[in-house]
Structure 1
Amino acid sequence: MEDTIAAIATAFGEGGIGIIRMSGEKSKDILNQIFIPISKKNSEQHQIVNRRLTYGIVIDPQTNQTIDEVMAVFMKAPYTYTMEDIAEIHCHGSSISLQKTLALVLRFGARLAEKGEFTKRAFLNGRLDLSQAEAVIDLIKAKTDKSFQVALSQMEGELSSKIKEIRSDLMDILVQIAVNLDYPDEDIEVLTYKKQEESLLLIGDKIDKLLSLADTGRMLRDGIAVTIIGKPNVGKSSLMNAFLRESRAIVTEIPGTTRDIIEESMSVRGIPIRLTDTAGIHETDDIIEKIGIEKSKQSFNQADLIIFMLDASQPLMKEDLEIANYIGERKTIVLINKTDLEISLCEKEIKRTLPGAVILYTSMKNETGLNELEEEIEKMVYGGDLVQKNSMMVTNVRHKELLLQAKQSINDALKMIKKMEAMDFIEVDIKRAWELLGEMIGETVSEDIINEVFSRFCLGK
């Protein structure tokens, strides 16, 4: 018999309701020992009905002390999240009430759940495959409507279905190879090198389509790190305030007002952004400014996208060129700010210095150019295509790596087909691709990987 596990399933802190969740064969027995159902209408006890919330009190049977006034529900297996008996106690959202109720549940036969153990049981009992289970984490951590939508589609099995389809195609080839190797004299369809090649090329295309959206999926899942960089007093703090629609960073006419980095999370057109406003990069003898500039450089090195701000009213200066050289070939948007003033900056010089950068014009004072900047960020994330309508994306780094390895195995098999190598050699690479894709959905995965995946969950999920 599996242990009955229990945990607080709601976030720590004060709230209207806090939930204690149990899963396992003892769930109902434990609930019956510490929960007394009461009918408000006539104050008489009544029974807990499967899948129906019941009003009552949690008591400590040893002291007969009331712990809290609660709602409780019992859900009988297999029609539950874990496919085991589940009981939940909905307490008032006080940490004292939750801790006391959990202590009672543990005293009467449950053990404290490990991180992600409820979802792990759902996986082990066949309700979810591994990629669906991992999508549960993404669903919990989703920061925007789009990232939530992508995670939800994965949890519902959209990605899993595609992987199963590709694995089925690979298995068809493996079966054909096995039949041709084991029964060469039988009256069966001969598997030619050409047929193998055609089938593997189609499978490779399916994997490529998944990989083509992997970077976009990662950005939607984890957000993109955007660093605003430039010399002092070009409008970096004003840009951050404009993005956030609030006065988060101090803005003055005095150069060097920002002496440390300021980090904020936000959403731009459904894309989660981790935005960093940096201290102006320049030479200084001020020890505090030096520390801020070093932090700016660290933020720059970790950024997915650089917004390099310039002052339109001034020609390119030595400090600007030094920053441009520091940027090199990084993905960059050059923002020429202060276009409300007389323009002295030469765009050709910028293009010559940063040939791969996108150049936009803004005026933080007149609040112009921000829409164009948001459009460019959206275009960079989605690769210029309308793929934001597609909810089936690979968002997980583990999944992307497995897809890349599977594609490499298919390419290796295709090389051997070109050379007309022995079928059993080709079979090894095709089977390897089949196994790698199986790791995505948990059908050919080791216990260590399963444990590592579920260790990323929070308690109670």
Structure 2
Amino acid sequence: MSESSSGPDTIAAVATAVAPGQGGIAVIRLSGPQAQAAVRAVTRIPGPQLWESHRVLYGHVLAADGEERIDEVLLLLMLAPRSFTAEDVVEIHCHGGVIAVQRVLARVLEQPGVRRALPGEFSQRAVLNGRLDLTRAEAISDLVAARSQRAAQLAMAGVDGGIQQRITALRERLLDQLSELEARVDFEEDLPPLDGAALLAELQAVRAQLLQLVADAERGAVLRSGLRVALVGRPNVGKSSLLNRLSRRERAIVTDLPGTTRDLLESEIVLEGVPITLLDTAGIRATSDAVEQLGIARSHDALASADLVLLLFDLSAGWTPEDEALRQRIPAAVPHLLVGNKVDLAGTDTPVRLTGSAADIRLSASTGAGEAELVQAMLERCGALTDGSLLLSLNQRQADLAQEAADALARSDQVATEGLPWDFWTIDLRQAIHSLGEITGEELTESVLDRIFSRFCIGK
């Protein structure tokens, strides 16, 4: 940990979102030995109110002259160790918005021994002080950032300790096997023979569970970060109509004139619990319009960055050479669906000739016919379908470490095949145990903790 965040100083930050005209209240959080003294210095509390732990006090924050009232506030005191950080914590509940919040925070930061908190520093102190394990702290961050109900549910499973319990249980099974191996290394002549086959079976059973956690993490990552889906096609094939249909609101202007969409439009939606960013691209065609050319250039960029491309074409007009040229521009690594739109104009039996394939989905963006089939196909093509069986999910850092542990255990099979002595088994087993300890925070250095919590928001 950096020196600035390791001393006995007191930290302060706004712990709620701040925006003009938004939020009835805002919370400024202080943690550290000077938290209570700093708040006492900037507030006036009328009457015989007691400054005791887990009490709420009423008063005003005063300007530096001691007279001007900056805001009317409530103070919540949570003294060590009964607080989020296990330090003295004081929360100032003031009015929302921007000006009052920033003025109150500025007054707090003027006090001796108080500085602005670093990103994630409150959570980092909670971990270092034993108030939280690392997986719970990371899950709180995921809960704050959740973009869908399913993502929030997975985050709560981590907050409740599901990840920590699962990883700890697997790590303890490996520690049991390591203790048996080390006993044989030191006292093999005094102990009964160790069953190598049973040992290997136990290690591989743990490995199988780790690999399942890694696979589940890939599904969970989609629920957390979502998908980017680009709508591409010739002008006037219905991209904007489909964007509006899926968004359930008029995000894009729809006309019969080609080239109406001249820039990249984005819309955030949730389909079957999966957050999706829809990218409505400018119709790709040859044009001399400079503004439209810029939109078409951004459309090409969207193709490369998308998780899925929906290539729309007009069923009533049929598949054209321009449609085929667009399909050739989709990067090979990006999955795509061929979506025949305007089925209400073309008729469901209209033959569509495509080079080497047929339309994946036939729909009408104006009437909604085929929409359910499109949503199902989108999630299937991206591997994002969820059946409710996913109960917890590791984040990317945790999944990488679980994979490292699984890889270390996989090497045990080679050690067994070669018939090497027991002390060779302990090398990879120790590596697996260390990797699992990094997930829960038992094997982490302070520098690694700094990197992890630097990605958290300020005030958390």
Quick check: 2:242–2:366 contact (8 Å CA) kept in 1?
Answer: no
1:222-244 Cα offsets, whole Å, 9 max, x none, are 11111112222211111001111
Q: Does 1:290 align with 2:293?
A: yes
Q: Does 1:8 align with 2:4?
A: no
| Distance in 2, Cα, partners of 1:436 & 1:6 | 33
Match of 1:391 in 2: 391
**Helix, strand or coil: the match of 2:345?**
coil
1:351-387 Cα offsets, whole Å, 9 max, x none, are x348xxx81211122221112222333445665562x
Could you tell me which of 135, 152, 165 is aligned with 1:148?
Answer: 152
Residue 51 to residue 381, structure 1, CA distance change in 2 (3 Å): farther
Aligned counterparts, 1:400-419, within 5 A: 400-419=399-418
Residue 287 to residue 102, structure 1, CA distance change in 2 (3 Å): closer
Quick check: 2:309–2:334 contact (8 Å CA) kept in 1?
Answer: yes
Give the drift of 1:57: 1.9
Could you tell me which of 26, 41, 45 is aligned with 1:33?
Answer: 41
Could you tell me which of 250, 267, 270 is aligned with 2:270?
Answer: 267
| Distance in 1, Cα, partners of 2:382 & 2:156 | 20
- State the one-letter code of the partner of 2:390: N
Give the drift of 1:337: 0.9
- State the one-letter code of the partner of 2:398: H
Residue 285 to residue 59, structure 1, CA distance change in 2 (3 Å): closer
Could you tell me which of 5, 8, 20 is aligned with 2:28?
Answer: 20
Aligned counterparts, 1:120-135, within 5 A: 120-135=124-139
Unmatched tracts of structure 1, length 5 or more: 39-43
Matched residue count: 449
1:157-183 Cα offsets, whole Å, 9 max, x none, are 111211111111111121111011111
| Distance in 2, Cα, partners of 1:346 & 1:175 | 69
Q: TM-score, normalised by structure 1?
A: 0.91
- State the one-letter code of the partner of 1:37: I
Aligned counterparts, 1:334-345, within 5 A: 334-343=338-347
In terms of mean alpha carbon deviation, does 149-158 or 105-114 score higher? 105-114
Residue 257 to residue 67, structure 1, CA distance change in 2 (3 Å): closer
Q: Does 1:99 align with 2:102?
A: yes
Quick check: 2:318–2:353 contact (8 Å CA) kept in 1?
Answer: no
Match of 2:431 in 1: 432
Residue 308 to residue 345, structure 1, CA distance change in 2 (3 Å): farther
**Helix, strand or coil: the match of 2:13?**
strand
1:135-156 Cα offsets, whole Å, 9 max, x none, are 2221111111111111121122
Quick check: 1:235–1:309 contact (8 Å CA) kept in 2?
Answer: yes
Residue 229 to residue 60, structure 1, CA distance change in 2 (3 Å): closer
- State the one-letter code of the partner of 2:93: H
Match of 1:112 in 2: 116
Match of 1:41 in 2: none
Q: Does 1:316 align with 2:324?
A: no
Quick check: 1:405–1:433 contact (8 Å CA) kept in 2?
Answer: yes
| Distance in 2, Cα, partners of 1:214 & 1:98 | 38
Aligned counterparts, 1:34-433, within 5 A: 34-38=42-46, 44-60=47-63, 63-109=66-112, 110-188=114-192, 190-327=193-330, 328=332, 330-343=334-347, 346=351, 349=354, 352-353=356-357, 359-380=360-381, 386=387, 388-394=388-394, 396-433=395-432
**Helix, strand or coil: the match of 2:457?**
coil
| Distance in 1, Cα, partners of 2:165 & 2:372 | 38
Q: Percent identity?
A: 34
Match of 2:4 in 1: none
| Distance in 1, Cα, partners of 2:285 & 2:436 | 50
Unmatched tracts of structure 2, length 5 or more: 1-6
Residue 375 to residue 171, structure 1, CA distance change in 2 (3 Å): same
**Helix, strand or coil: the match of 2:346?**
coil
| Distance in 1, Cα, partners of 2:352 & 2:417 | 51
| Distance in 2, Cα, partners of 1:122 & 1:22 | 13
- State the one-letter code of the partner of 1:323: L
**Helix, strand or coil: the match of 2:253?**
coil
| Distance in 2, Cα, partners of 1:80 & 1:371 | 48
RMSD after superposition: 2.2
In terms of mean alpha carbon deviation, does 198-207 or 340-349 score higher? 340-349
| Distance in 2, Cα, partners of 1:145 & 1:120 | 26
| Distance in 2, Cα, partners of 1:191 & 1:380 | 48
1:34-65 Cα offsets, whole Å, 9 max, x none, are 33333xxxxx3322342122212223575343
Give the drift of 1:193: 2.5
**Helix, strand or coil: the match of 1:341?**
helix
- State the one-letter code of the partner of 1:275: L
| Distance in 2, Cα, partners of 1:314 & 1:445 | 61
| Distance in 2, Cα, partners of 1:60 & 1:453 | 37
- State the one-letter code of the partner of 1:336: G
Aligned counterparts, 1:438-449, within 5 A: 438-449=437-448
